[in-house]
Amino acid sequence: MAQQLSAAKEPNAEQIAEQKLYKQMGVTDDEYARICGFLGRKPNYVEIGVFSVMWSEHCSYKNSKPVLRRFPTTGPRVLMGPGEGAGVVDIGDNQAVVFKIESHNHPSAIEPYQGAATGVGGIIRDIFSMGARPVALLNSLRFGRLENDRVRYLFEHVVSGIAGYGNCIGIPTVAGEVMFDESYEGNPLVNAMCVGLIDHDKIQKGVAKGVGNPVFYVGPATGRDGIHGATFASEELTAESEAKRPAVQVGDPFMEKLVMEACLELIDSGIVLGIQDMGAAGLTCSSAEMASKAGNGIELYLDRVPQREEGMTPYEMMLSESQERMLYVIRPEHEAQARAIFDRWGVICAKVGKVTDDGRLKLFHHGELVGDMPVGALVDECPVYNPASQEPAYYRENAAIDTLRYPEAANLTETLRRILASPTVASKEWVYNQYDSMVRTETFVRPGSDAAVVGVPGTRKALAMTTDCNGRYVYLDPAVGGRIAVSEAARNIVCSGALPLAVTDNLNFGSPEKPDIFWQLEQATEGMAEACRALETPVIGGNVSLYNENAKGAIYPTPVVGMVGLVEDVDHITTQGFKAEGDIVLLLGDTKAELGGSELQYVLHGVTEGRPPELDLAVERALQQAVLEAIRGGLVASAHDLSEGGLAVALAESCISGGGIGASVALETELRPDVALFSESQSRILLSARPDKADALQELLAARGVPCRAIGTVGGSELRITVNGKEGVRSDVAQLEKAWKEAIPCYMK
Amino acid sequence: MKGDRVMKFAVLVFPGSNCDIDCYKAVESTIGQPVDYVWQTSTDLSAYDAILVPGGFSYGDYLRCGAIAQFAPVMGALKQAAEDGKYILGICNGFQILTEARLLPGALLRNKALKFRCHSAKLRVVNNETPFTRDYAENELIDIPIAHGEGNYYCDEATLKELQANRQIVFRYEAGNNPNGSVDDIAGICNRAGNVVGMMPHPERAVHELLGSADGKRMFTSILNAWRERSGAAVIGG
Amino acid sequence: MKAKVYVTIKQNVLDPQGSAVEGALHSLGFEEVGKVRVGKFVELELQTADRGEAEARVKAMCEKLLANTVIEDYRYELE
């Protein structure tokens, strides 16, 4: 076959074998032998390229498949689970919500603006390729410490890349989180999530249906950008990866807006048989997966692929990750109808192939066969690894650490101010004011609350959405940290007045080839799976990003949880800010001496050690159900989840978000005062209620077995907290707000 | 009102417009008048009484915001409509397009802080005698969000003096809270005749308490009332 | 023929990008830097050999689209 046809500079099959060139593409000797077995010969350059990306972790999940199987993926509302572009969950009235999260960590580490922008572009395509109208974006970001110049550079440009893409395409960026810790230095995390709405009968699949049907390419012409992006994402970051800069793609949100509108119109016309976006591994992955899902084959005529650069080889076209491209299949008789739609939107559309019945991906270039591979081998036959797992030494050592070994914080007001000014806790206004959070005019709760709330047009319903994960907890105890990540996301959803529906997860870990890291992955996913079962929030899709390492080692294991909930009636929407003078402040849940992995520990002592807070899923579930019942019953004025910085930070945030209104709180406790204020015990929520509702609220909570104490009242302009009768915190809310709001802008000047 | 001729609204749509739906919904929800999307290739706007030029990133805002949109086929009809005294409201990118097309004086530069900004903004109603602001009180402070990267209004001294003298400054940002560096805190202006208004803030995003403010609603009632008065129909209550 | 068009913000108009770059250069120790203006550079390939005609056409392009003369100046070179 046609090895001699590939460009002269590309090595031939013999050279690939002799010089083991496949290794540069991340293919092992064993995998290479396996590929030769499937082909019955040695692969040529384009074929080994195609196998290398299809068998990369990013596309094949070869290292993570066994742990992903732990997740519950079904439920009464789940219409489509993992496997397609995004999961789909029923929200009633023939409508459904579609959502997914995806990482763009490695590209963002190299070129932060374009890396983040194309991450947003990619996740939007995943949503509209399902036929859904994207209605909201979220993002979960992790960076090193802001004292570092390079970190500030990455932070600044990642944020503007997200803004640049989302603002232009006109999808509001409504929520997210940003945390800072040196563990992410040199390896920032950029996880983008998109949420869409769809009618049940419009749901699309990425299948190449109907032998003989034409396969169309939509979107801008293909260039040499991003070649080997998928394998790049599956490697550790090294000094050489800086040199691989051309691997980063450039995004064009204006083009994506046109492609999106045209594709949604095409789907709406009812003629689409299958559609998929060209994400990682571009044309390769989309064509192979569409063929595989239909049990068919595909022939591609590569010279018909629109090309931006001259002299592109089949290898380059198959592996290019040029952005904003889609692949779809229709019946031949609908070709003119489809073409008219794309012409009106000014989007390129080219017939590049056809569906076949031989189960093979065949590539032709100027009439000659240049690649011929079994689709099944590409998609399903990548070896699945069960990497070795070992409990790391640090985990055992942490068991012995007494988190109370540091002296008591003397000045609690000053401590609160310092924690409020810690970038992880501080106001993220500097970030989210750069995002258009309101376009589409359905954003009912904007960024800065526990969860954002976005209306479902034409109904009384709304969607609550959030992302969550505290990597410190997961590092200290991956199983507990995993449980907390899911539980906290659900708690945020409940606090906004919504029922948690389902989860999309982004597993950001170090190299799975290291037993310590694989142990973290196993433990964390087990913890997440338990919580997902207990809280009835199945995992409907997600993404795995491994090899997040740099010279200093692996990042904290960071399995980001994206969650969406359903607000039954917009009247139930609840926010975290205190509402009125005289409202009663209630603390739900028990506070224990739990400082392991806390913000207090990090800010005051610069360490992350000990065991993280415990989490009992039965307690958590009861708390969430009771609070949602109370909100729906109209008993709650404000609700705020307790997280980083504990009770004191939650109180301060409720005051600040309440427009600067104060509160007077008296705590009775056996704990050390600083522990009582800054412990990060789980399953706690801060509520406020009108005085005439407070009794009924407390009765309801008592009846549901949820520990609840009235700890104070809303009013004045000061936050005052006494502990066992002694003054603990006393400050004007305005001063706390200043510390909280000015922290990040101050670093970014 | 029975028997009344309805006021017909057009929302122009360019490739890259993204507040078109919001403008459409705002007209429907605030004043319930008929509204159509009009694609940029149309060359006839004679059927419409008011034309909204929505926000977004027309043609990607490549080169300069609004620079390419000014040459879209529909712009000839828009100029004609302006001459005919029809009500034209350009919001955000729509304002940028109107200045590029010279339907309004001045230009919009990058925000002084070089960052896109999206948040609530307090605006002062400087001139409440335009067809777009008659339902506001003079000097009223209203809450209308902004969302732009290039909203820094610029004009030369002479033009500014003219704007001031002719009461063409319709909205100003509240003193001390200018988000983008605009000359004289300008947030919105009108032409000499008063029938063309351009503004960076988004009144269509402030038409319901759930959105955080309903202060934008009265811009739409103003337009309807002005039109009704002009065409001799009954005016609706504010 | 090739035309190179340079578009800059007018001298009397505030150029926030220029000011930011100026500040950054100073903080990097390039103290000799005075005023900085940031502009655009547009390269056009023209299907013509007539220099006079090209000149007139490029000027028209600048006036009409490439520059907004309310805020921007332009100049061009033909080669």
Cα B78 from Cα B71, distance rounded (Å)? 11
What is the tens place of the pLDDT at every residue in A698-741?
A: 999 999 999 999 999 999 999 999 999 999 999 999 999 999 99
Out of A439, A444, A446, the one facing B22 most closely (by C-beta) is A439
The number of angstroms, rounded, from the C-alpha of A37 to the middle of its chain's C-alpha atoms is 37
Cα A12 from Cα A419, distance rounded (Å)? 60
What radius of gyration, in Å, describes the C-alpha atoms of chain B?
16
Q: A90 pairs with which residues across the strands?
A: A96
Q: Same CATH topology for A1-65+205-382 and A74-203+427-573?
A: no
CB contact under 8 A, C13 and B155: no
A391 labelled binding-site residue = no
Please identify every residue of B annotated as catalytic. Answer: 92, 202, 204
Could you give the number of structural domains in chain B?
1
pLDDT the model gives residue A2? 40
What is the tens place of the pLDDT at every residue in A393-419?
A: 999 999 999 999 999 998 999 999 999
| B68 domain residue, yes or no | yes
Q: How many CB pairs under 8 A join B and C?
A: 39
CB contact under 8 A, C71 and B107: yes
Out of A252, A346, A439, the one facing B18 most closely (by C-beta) is A439
b/e per residue A175-203 (b: at least 16 CB within 10 A): bbbbbbbbbbbbbbbbbbbbbbbbeeebb
Residue A701's identity, in one-letter code, is L
Using a CB-CB cut-off of 8 Å, the residues of chain C touching B99 are 70
Rounded to an integer, the average pLDDT of A466-472 is 98
pLDDT the model gives residue A274? 95
pLDDT the model gives residue A702? 97
The number of angstroms, rounded, from the C-alpha of B120 to the middle of its chain's C-alpha atoms is 17
CB contact under 8 A, B110 and C16: yes
Grade residue A575 by pLDDT with cuts at 50, 70 and 90.
very high
| B18 domain residue, yes or no | yes
CB contact under 8 A, C71 and B109: yes
Grade residue A238 by pLDDT with cuts at 50, 70 and 90.
low
Task: Tell how strand A685-689 and strand A584-588 pair up.
Answer: antiparallel
Cα C46 from Cα C63, distance rounded (Å)? 17
pLDDT the model gives residue A489? 98
Using a CB-CB cut-off of 8 Å, the residues of chain C touching B106 are 70
Using a CB-CB cut-off of 8 Å, the residues of chain C touching B64 are 68
pLDDT the model gives residue A5? 38
| B117 domain residue, yes or no | yes
Cα A139 from Cα A286, distance rounded (Å)? 25
In the sheet that holds A360-365, the strands lie side by side as: A274-277, A326-329, A214-218, A349-356, A297-301, A360-365, A368-374
A571 labelled binding-site residue = no
Cα A311 from Cα A315, distance rounded (Å)? 11
pLDDT the model gives residue B234? 67
Interface of B with A in 112-131 (CB under 8 A): 115-119
Q: Is it the case that residue C11 has pLDDT exceeding 90?
A: no
Alpha-carbon gap: A459 to the closest alpha carbon of chain B (Å): 13
Mean pLDDT over the full length of chain A: 94
The distance in angstroms from the start CA to the end CA of chain C is 6
CB contact under 8 A, C16 and B156: no
Out of A168, A258, A434, the one facing B115 most closely (by C-beta) is A434
How many CB atoms neighbour CB A218 within 10 A?
26
Domain extent listing, chain A: 1-65+205-382, 74-203+427-573, 392-419+574-749
CB contact under 8 A, B117 and A434: yes
pLDDT the model gives residue A4? 37
pLDDT the model gives residue C44? 95
Residue of B nearest to A571 (CA): B210
| B237 domain residue, yes or no | no
Q: Is it the case that residue A241 has pLDDT exceeding 60?
A: no
Task: Find which of A430, A441, A749 to mutate to test the B interface (most B CBs within 10 Å of its CB).
Answer: A441
pTM value is: 0.94
pLDDT the model gives residue B4? 62
ipTM: 0.96
Enclosing H/E stretch for A639:
strand A638-641
Grade residue A480 by pLDDT with cuts at 50, 70 and 90.
very high
For tokens 């490695």, the residue is A106
What is the tens place of the pLDDT at every residue in B135-181?
A: 999 999 999 999 999 999 999 999 999 999 999 999 999 999 999 99
Low-confidence spans in chain B with pLDDT less than 50 = 1-3, 238
How many CB atoms neighbour CB B129 within 10 A?
10
What is the tens place of the pLDDT at every residue in A119-142?
A: 999 999 999 999 999 999 999 999
CB A517 within 8 A of CB A509: yes
Question: Quick one: tokens of B20?
Answer: 């078109």
pLDDT the model gives residue A235? 61
3-state helix, strand, coil in chain B (%, to 5): 30, 25, 45
Using a CB-CB cut-off of 8 Å, the residues of chain B touching A444 are 210-211
Q: Is it the case that residue A351 has pLDDT exceeding 70?
A: yes
With a CB cutoff of 8 Å and minimum separation 6, the contacts of A542 are A82, A100, A101, A503, A504, A505, A506, A507, A562
Domain of residue B81 covers 2-231
What is the tens place of the pLDDT at every residue in A291-334?
A: 999 999 999 999 999 998 888 999 999 999 899 999 999 999 99
CB A75 within 8 A of CB A441: no
Task: Find which of C12, C62, C68 to mutate to test the B interface (most B CBs within 10 Å of its CB).
Answer: C68
Strands (E), A244-286: 274-277
Residue of A nearest to B41 (CA): A344
The fold adopted by the segment(s) C2-78 is Mth169; Chain: A , (3.30.1280)
Cα A254 from Cα A256, distance rounded (Å)? 5
The fold adopted by the segment(s) A74-203+427-573 is 60s Ribosomal Protein L30; Chain: A; (3.30.1330)
Q: Is it the case that residue A240 has pLDDT exceeding 60?
A: no
Range name among A109-123, B103-117, C1-15 with the lowest pLDDT average: C1-15
Q: How far is CA A105 from CA A482, B140, B231, in A?
A: 20, 48, 60
CATH (domain of B180): 3.40.50.880
Cα A474 from Cα A392, distance rounded (Å)? 13
Task: Find which of B154, B155, B178, B180 to mutate to test the C interface (most C CBs within 10 Å of its CB).
Answer: B154
pLDDT the model gives residue A7? 47
Grade residue A84 by pLDDT with cuts at 50, 70 and 90.
confident
pLDDT the model gives residue B238? 47
The fold adopted by the segment(s) A392-419+574-749 is Phosphoribosyl-aminoimidazole Synthetase; Chain A, domain 2 (3.90.650)
With a CB cutoff of 8 Å and minimum separation 6, the contacts of B88 are B50, B51, B52, B53, B78, B81, B82, B98, B103, B195, B196, B197
Cα A473 from Cα A610, distance rounded (Å)? 10
Q: Is it the case that residue A6 has pLDDT exceeding 50?
A: no
Question: Quick one: tokens of A711?
Answer: 């700890």
pLDDT the model gives residue C24? 80
pLDDT the model gives residue B34? 98
pLDDT the model gives residue A3? 39
Tell me the HSE value of A400 on the side-chain side, using a 13 A CA sphere: 4
Alpha-carbon gap: B206 to the closest alpha carbon of chain A (Å): 8
b/e per residue A130-139 (b: at least 16 CB within 10 A): bbbbbbbbbb
Chains with 3+ CB–CB pairs under 8 A to C are B
Cα A721 from Cα A412, distance rounded (Å)? 10
Range name among A76-85, A245-254, A447-456, A673-682 with the lowest pLDDT average: A245-254
Which CATH number applies to A1-65+205-382?
3.90.650.10
